A and B are shown apart, each in its own frame.
Chain A
C-alpha cells in the first residue's frame, strides 16, 4: 500500500517507560503513518494507555526516542522529567488531541464554551469564528441543540461526544482515544462509537484508539496492535489479527474477550 512509502508521522524508537521499579514500556518500537487508524488492544496494564499518555505529553519516558512529524519529544539540552522546555512541549501538543475515558469536560463552562475556550485562548481565534466552528463540530456530533447546557446536564455519551468536538476544535493531526466508551452505560456506547466511526473516514486524521470494543476495532482500524507486558506482541490488519492470530497470547486474549 501507499502507506509504506510515507515517512511515519509517529515513531517510537527503543522507548522505555518506568514508574519507579515498575517497567511499563520496555524497548518499545512503534510507527504510525500519517492518516493511519490504529487500534491498541491488550490486557490492562500492558502499556497501551501509556503510549497515548506519552504522546500527549502527560507522562515522560526515560529512554529511547520519540518523534512526531519530525519533532523529537526530548530536546538535546532539555531538562526536567520531559527533557524539554514547556515551549517545546506546547509545540508538540499543538499537533495532538486526546479524548479521555472519563470525558474530563470543564464543569464550570457550558458545552459551547468547553469547545470554544481553547481555540479562542490558545490559538487566538476571534470568538465569533471559534463559535462558528464549535457549532459546526457540535452539529457533527449531534449536539448543536445542547450548546447552552452544562456538562452535568448531559448523559455520559453526550459528554463524550462534546469531548470529541472539543478535541477536534484544536484541529489536531493526531487524535488519541483512551478507552472512550469504557465509562459509559452499555446503551450509550453506540452513539459515541458512531461519532468515532465518522472520523475514521477523515483521510488526514491520524487516530490511535485504545479500546475493548473488539468488533468496533475490527471495523474501523487499518491496523490492530496487541499489547502484552509493555511490548507489541503481534500486529497486523484487523482481519488477520481477529481471524488468524499467530501468537498464543493473542489467541488467549481474544478468546477471553470475544467469547
Chain B
C-alpha cells in the first residue's frame, strides 16, 4: 500500500490544477465573449484584431506559448509569477477557441430574429444583448463543456514551467520512488475525477439556461 503515501502530495497538486483550470476558464470565457462578439458585431478594426488573436493562439503550440510567456517575455522586462503565466496562457487559449464557439452560435441565430428586432426598432447592442446572445448562449454550452475539459487536460503543461500541479507532483514522486505504474495510474484517476466534476458542473449550467419551455429542444440537439 505504498501508493497511499503519494496521496497528500498528489492532492495538493490536484488543488493547484483545479484552481489554475477554473481561473483560466473564467478569464478565458470573458476573452471568448469579447473576441467572439467583436468578430460578429465589431467594425472592421475590432473584428480584425479579434481574428488575429484567435488565429495566432489557435495556430501555435500551447507549450511554446507557455515557454514564450515564461522565458522570453521577461527578457523584454515583462515578467509574471509562474502561476499567473500559466493562468494567462491557458486563458488566452480558452479565449481563442471559445471565441469561435461564441461566433458560431451568434451567427446561427436566424435572420428572422434579427429582422423582428429591427422591425421593433431595437438598436444593435440591444439586439445583441436582449435577442441574439440569450438564444445563442444555450447553443454554446455543449461546446464550452468540451473546451473546459480540454483545458483541464492541457493544464498539465504548466508543470513544465515549474508549477507544482498534479502532473508536476506525479513526476516528482515517480523520480523518487520509480513506481511509474502506481503514480501515473493515480494521476489519471485524479484527472478523470476532476473532469467528471467539471462535466457535471457544465451540465448543471446548461440545464439552468435551458430551463423552462423556452428551449424545448433536447440537449445537444
Contacts and interface: CB of A to CB of B under 8 A. Distances in A.
B197 interface: no
Nearest to A98: B119
Interface in B91-149: 112-113, 115-116, 118-124, 126, 130-131, 134-135
A170 B126 CA distance: 16
Contacts, number: 68
B126 A104 contact: no
A122 B127 CA distance: 11
> Which are the 5 A-B pairs with shortest beta-carbon distances?
A104-B116, A118-B120, A98-B119, A93-B121, A104-B112
Interface residues on B, range: 20 to 34
A149 B112 CA distance: 21
A186 B121 CA distance: 32
Interface string B65-90: 00000000000000000000000000
B126 A167 contact: no
Contacts of B130: 117, 121
5 contacts: A56-B118, A102-B112, A104-B115, A108-B214, A117-B120
Interface string A154-175: 0000000000001100100000
B214 A122 contact: no
Contacts of A152: 213-214, 216
B213 A57 contact: no
Main secondary structure of the interface of A (DSSP, over half): loop
Contacts of A244: none
Contacts of A90: 121, 123
Interface residues of A, number: 29
B113 to A, nearest CB: 6
A153 B118 contact: no
A116 to B, nearest CB: 11
Contacts of B59: none
Interface in A172-231: none
B134 A108 contact: yes
A107 interface: yes
Given A106-B131, A107-B215, A152-B216, A100 B122 contact: no
Nearest to A56: B119
Nearest to A170: B120
A94 interface: yes
Contacts of A109: 214
A109 B216 CA distance: 13
A30 interface: no
Given A100-B112, A117-B130, A121-B126, A107 B118 contact: no
Contacts of A121: 122, 126, 130
B74 to A, nearest CB: 46
A100 B118 contact: no
Nearest to B119: A98
A150 interface: yes
B217 to A, nearest CB: 9
Nearest to B120: A118
B212 interface: yes
B67 to A, nearest CB: 44
Given A97-B120, A106-B113, A150-B212, 7 more contacts: A56-B119, A104-B112, A106-B131, A108-B134, A108-B215, A117-B120, A170-B120
